[in-house]
Chain A
Amino acid sequence: MSIAVQFQQVSRHYDSVRAVDDISLDIAEGEFFSMLGPSGSGKTTSLRLIAGFEQPSSGSLRIFGQEAAGLPPNLRAVNTVFQDYALFPHMNVLDNVAYGLMLKGVTKSERHRRAEEMLEMVKLGQYGSRRPSALSGGQRQRVALARALILQPRVLLLDEPLGALDLKLREQMQTELKTLQRQLGITFVFVTHDQGEAMSMSDRVAVFNKGRIEQVAAPQVLYNQPATAFVADFVGAANVFDGELASTLVGHAQSFAVRPERIRPAGQLADDDVVRVPGKLLDIQYLGAVSRYEVEVSGHKVVSMVLPNENGNATAPAEIGAALTLAWPSHAMLPLAG
C-alpha cells in the first residue's frame, strides 16, 4: 500500500496564530481517514492544505509522492465535498455534477451521460433538471458527493459534510459513505468534530488539538490506549486522574484515565487486582439502557460511573448523599502521557 497524502513538519500560521503547528502525518491509499478535533484545532486547515485552498507556511506536503506545496487546487488530483456543499446556484443539478468534466472539455452529451450515472449512484437519478435550491439538505449533500466523485479523484476530502443534517439522516449517510468508500476503494479524508462519527466510519483517526496532532490510531486503539488526557477525554468519556490525585489513589504520579463503564461499586468486584476509592454519591442520571452516577472522591474530584440498567430499571447502589466506594480493575487504568 502506498502513501496518498504525506505531511512533513507542515505548519500554517496566520500572523501569530498557529492554525497548524508542525504536523507530520501519513495517510495511506484506500483508507478512510478522519481528522477529529474541536473547532479551531487545525483539522479543517489541514484538509484545506491538502485541497490547496491554503498554502503551508513551512514544511512539505506530498500527494502521491508529488510535492503539492505551490500547486493550485485545480492541478491537484483531489476533490472536496464542502461543509455548505457549495453547489452552484445558477446551474441545475446535472450541470453541477458535470462541471468538472466540462472544464476538461468532455462533450456535452458524454458529460451529461456520465453525470446521470453519478446521480443514479447517489440515488438522485430523477433530480438532474432541478435547481440546487429545490433540494433538501441530504439531497444537496449527495449532489456535492457526485460532483466531486465524477472526476475519479484518488483522494476525496470531506469537510464536515454531515454537520448540517439531522441525526437520523446523518446516521444513514454515515453508513452510505462508508459503503461507497469501500466500493470505490479511494482514500477518504473526513473532517469532523463528532467523535462518534469518526469512530464508526474510520480506519484510522487523527485527533487534533490546538494545531497539533495528539494521536493517530485506529478507533479501537484510540479508545483503549489513548495517548494523552485530551484524547481520553475527547474520544469517549473518561475520568482522568492526573499527577497528585493519581499518587494519593494508586501510589504513583503517572496520570491515567478510567472509562466510566469500567468502574463498579466496590461490592460488585471481588477480584484482588482492583483499585478501591471511597467517595460520596452526588447525582444519578437515568439514560435508558444505562445510568450515570456522579461520585465525589478525594473531596473534590467528580468521577462518573456508568452501570447497565437491568430490564431498563435503575437500581441505585446507594442513596444520593450516601458514602459509596468505587472500584476498577488495575488493567482498566489507561496510562497517559503528559
Chain B
Amino acid sequence: MMSIALPIPPAAPALGLWQRLGVTLYRHPGLQLGLLLGLPLLWFLVVYIGSLATLLVQSFFTFDDFTMEVSRELTLANYQQLLQPANFDVVLRTLSMASAVTLASAVLAFPLAYYMVRYARGWKKGFFYVAVMLPMWASYIVKVYAWTVLLAKDGIVYWAYQHLGLGGVVDWLMTIPLLGGNSLTTSHLGRFAVFTYIWLPFMILPIQAALERVPLGLMQASSDLGASGAQTFRHVILPLAFPGVVAGSIFTFSLTLGDYIIPQIIGPSGLFIGSMVYTMQGSIGNMPLAAAFTVVPVVIIALYLTGARKLGAFDAL
C-alpha cells in the first residue's frame, strides 16, 4: 500500500446567494419538481379542472322556468329531464351521425393510408403527409364555409351533377327520409358529407401510423394478387391496422359528438347534443340543464375509450 496522509479539510469556499439556491435545489429534487411543475399544475387545476368541477356542480343547481333564473339549490331534476323522450331523440340522432361518419371515414381513409405506407416513396411520402396534415389543421370554420359554397344552389356540386346528367338521381336522393332534405345544404346527406370531410384526416393519420409498423415484407406479400395475398391482407394486415382504425374513430366519434356548428349551418333542423347544450346555456340561459347535458358525451366517450383501450388503440396514438 502507498502511504497516504490525511490532509486538513480546507474550509468550504463561501457561496453566493445564487449558488446557495443551486445547492438547495440539488439537495431537494422535490423542490426542483415543484418549481417546474408548480405553474402549469396550478393553471390546469384552477382554470381547467376547476371549470369542469364548476360545470359538474352547476348541473345540480335549480333552474326556475318562470323567472328564468338559476338558484344554488341542489337538485337532481336536470338529470331527470335528460331522460325525457325528446332528449333521447337528440342523443340517438347524434350517435347515429357519429357512427355513420366514423364508418365512412374509415372506409375512405384506409386505401389512402395504405397507399401512403405501401407505395409512396421519397418526396411522395412527404407530399402525402403534408397533403393530409394541411387540410387537417386548416381552419375549421373556413372548411365549413367552403362546403356551404360547394353545396350552394348553382354551386360547384350542383353544376357538376347537372352536367353529368345526374339531376334526377340527386332529386330522388333528396326525397329519401333519412338522407334527403329540401336542398343539398339542408339535407342529411350534405351534413354527413361535411362531417366526414372535416374529420377524415383524423382517421387517416392513425391508420397510417399503425400500418407503418407492419413489416414491409408482409405488405408486399399481401399485394400478391393470388389467394395468399388476399389471405395475408385479411388475416395479417387488417388486424394490425385495426388499432389505428379504432384510434382514428376516437377522434371522429368524439369530435362529431361535441360539434354544434355544422348541424347549425348544414342540414335539416333537429338538435344535436352539441347544439342542445349551446342553446340551453345561450338563448334559454338554463346553464344547469346544459351542464347536465354535457355529461352525456363525456359518458359516451368514456365508454368508447374503455372499449378502445381493450382493443389496443392507444398504442397507435
Contact = CB atoms under 8 A, between A and B. Distances in A.
Interface of A: 1-3, 26, 28, 31, 52, 55, 62, 64-67, 70-72, 74-75
Given A1-B2, A66-B12, A72 B26 contact: yes
A76 to B, nearest CB: 11
B10 interface: yes
A146 to B, nearest CB: 26
A75 B7 CA distance: 20
B5 interface: yes
24 contacts: A1-B2, A1-B5, A2-B7, A3-B4, A3-B7, A26-B4, A52-B26, A55-B26, A64-B10, A65-B6, A65-B7, A65-B10, A66-B9, A66-B10, A66-B12, A67-B9, A70-B26, A70-B27, A72-B22, A72-B23, A72-B26, A75-B15, A75-B22, A75-B23
Contact of B22 (A3, A67, A74): A74
Nearest to A71: B23
Contacts of A28: 2, 4
Assign chain B's interface to a size class.
10 to 19
B23 A70 contact: yes
Interface of B: 2-10, 12, 15, 19, 22-23, 25-27
A74 B25 CA distance: 13
Contacts of B22: 72, 74-75
Contacts of B4: 1-3, 26, 28
Given A1-B2, A70-B26, A72-B26, A64 B19 contact: no
Contacts of A2: 4-7
A66 to B, nearest CB: 6
Contacts of A65: 6-10
A135 to B, nearest CB: 30
Given A1-B4, A3-B7, A70-B27, 10 more contacts: A1-B2, A1-B5, A2-B6, A3-B6, A26-B4, A65-B7, A70-B23, A71-B23, A72-B22, A74-B22
A14 to B, nearest CB: 13
Nearest to A27: B4
Contacts of B6: 2-3, 65
Contacts of A75: 15, 19, 22-23
A242 to B, nearest CB: 28
B80 to A, nearest CB: 51
Contacts of B26: 52, 55, 70-72
Contacts of A62: 9
